Structure 1
Amino acid sequence: MSLYIEARIRADLDDLWAHTQEPAQHRRWDLRFGEIDYLPCEEGEPQRFRYATRVLPFLTVAGTGVSAGEKRRPDGTRTSALRFASPHPLSLLEEGSGYWRYVPAEDGDGVRFLTGYDYRPRWGRFGRITDRLVFRPLMGWATAWSFDRLRLWLERGITPERALLHAAVELAVRLLCVAAAVLFVPMVALAVAATMLMLPPLPTTPAARRCLRKAPARARAPRILAGLGPMTPRAPRTRTEGQYS
C-alpha cells in the first residue's frame, strides 16, 4: 500500500470499532468524506456503501464501495478491508482498496489504529503527475489529521466539530501573528513566519504530525482484502443501515 498512517489511541477497542465502523460516527471525524451510507446487500455478502466528498462549494464527487471485516480474531486484533471506485469524470481517484487494523498495544495502553491504502488515478499522465505532487500528499495529510481528531474525541471527549473549530482558531491566530509582523515589524516577519510554522499545535488541536506515516517493514494487506474481488462501480440504491463487517 502506498499510503500508511498509524495512531496510538488510548481508548476501549469496542468504542474505537464503533466510532470507525458506524457511518454516522465515521463521517464526523474523517476529513475525506462528507457522506457515507450503506446500500442494500444480501445476507452473507460484503457490505456495499456509497460515499461522497464535497471538493468545491458547487461540486460533490461520489463513489461506491464494498467492505468486509473481522471483528473477532484469535490474536485479539480486528480488521476491516474495502474496495472503492468513483465513476465521476471529475474525480482524480478512479478506484482503489485499503484496510484498517485495530491492534491492542503490547503494553496494554490503548490500541494501534492503522490504515494502508492505494488507488489508481484517472486522467492519464496528467493525473499521475497531479496525484504524485499534490493529491497523494494531501490525502496522506488528511488521513493522519483525521486519525488525530478521532484520538482527541475518544481520549479527551473533544468532539470532531470542536476539534475543527480549535484548528481554525489556531490557524487564524498564527496567520494574524505573521500579518502583524509584516505590517509593523517587517525586519522580523520571516522569523515570525518560521516560528509559527515550527511551533507544535496545541494539545487540543488535531495534528497530522502526531501520527506515524511510514509503514514498518512487516506491514502487509490483510487476506480478507483479496476476498473482496475487483471493484465495479454500481449505481447507488436506497439508503439502509448496517455495519462494515
Structure 2
Amino acid sequence: MSGASGNNEDLIRVLIVDDEPGLVETLSVAVTEAGWRPYSAADGESALRTARGCAPHAVVLDGMLPDLDGVQVLRRLRYENPRLPVLMLTARDALEHRIEGLSAGADDYVTKPFSLEEVVLRLRGLLRRAGVEDARSDEFVLTVGDLVLMEKTREAHRDGTPIELTAKEFDLLWLLMSHPRQVLSKAQILDHVWSSSFDAGGNLVEAYISNLRRKIDKGRAPMIRTLRRMGYTIRPAEEGR
C-alpha cells in the first residue's frame, strides 16, 4: 500500500477519475471527510496507471473522459480487478447510457448534478457490500424530522417508536431519506431500489409507497408525499404540504 504514514496506509483508498479539476477537488474533500484517502486522475490512461499503483478499494469514474470512454476504462478496471467497486458519474440522462455502464460492470451510478452526501452514501454502501470495513463509522444513520433509519442494524423509528420494515421497504425509505425534500420519479426509484432493467412499472412503486405510508404515517402527521405526475418525496411533518 502507498501512503505517507502508517495511519494513511490503513485508510480506505478511493480513486476519483474526472477531467473537471474543481469537481475532483470537491469530491476529494468529501472523501477525506468521510475518513478515506482520495487519489485522482484526469483521464482514462492515468486512471489505469494510478489504479495499478494505489490499489484502490473503490473508484468514482466519470462516464465521459478526454481520451478513453468511461465504459472502456471500467472494462479494463474490471479485467484487472473483477471485484473492485465502481461508482459511475454521468451527465447523460438517457437510460441506455446507464444500462451500458451497469452492463460493463459498474456497481452503481449518480447523475450530475449530484449531492456530495449522495456520493459518499453510495460509496459507503458499495464498500460495505464489498466487505471493506469503514472503521470510522460503525453505524450510519439518516434522520428526517422524527424519523430515524439505521443502516447497519436496518432499524427504523419514528418519535422513538420502532417500525418493522421488509428489506425492500427499508431500501425504498433509505432512498427517500437520502434525498429529503427532493422529488424522486417512479423511474428513479425503480432504478435505485430494484434495477434499471426491472420491468414492473409504476404499480410496484405505488404499492411499496402505500405500505410505507401505512407503517410510517398512519395516525401521525404525514411525511411521505405524492406530487402528481412527478413522483414522491419525504420531508419533516412539521413543514406541512
TM-score (normalised: structure 1) = 0.30
Higher strand share: 1
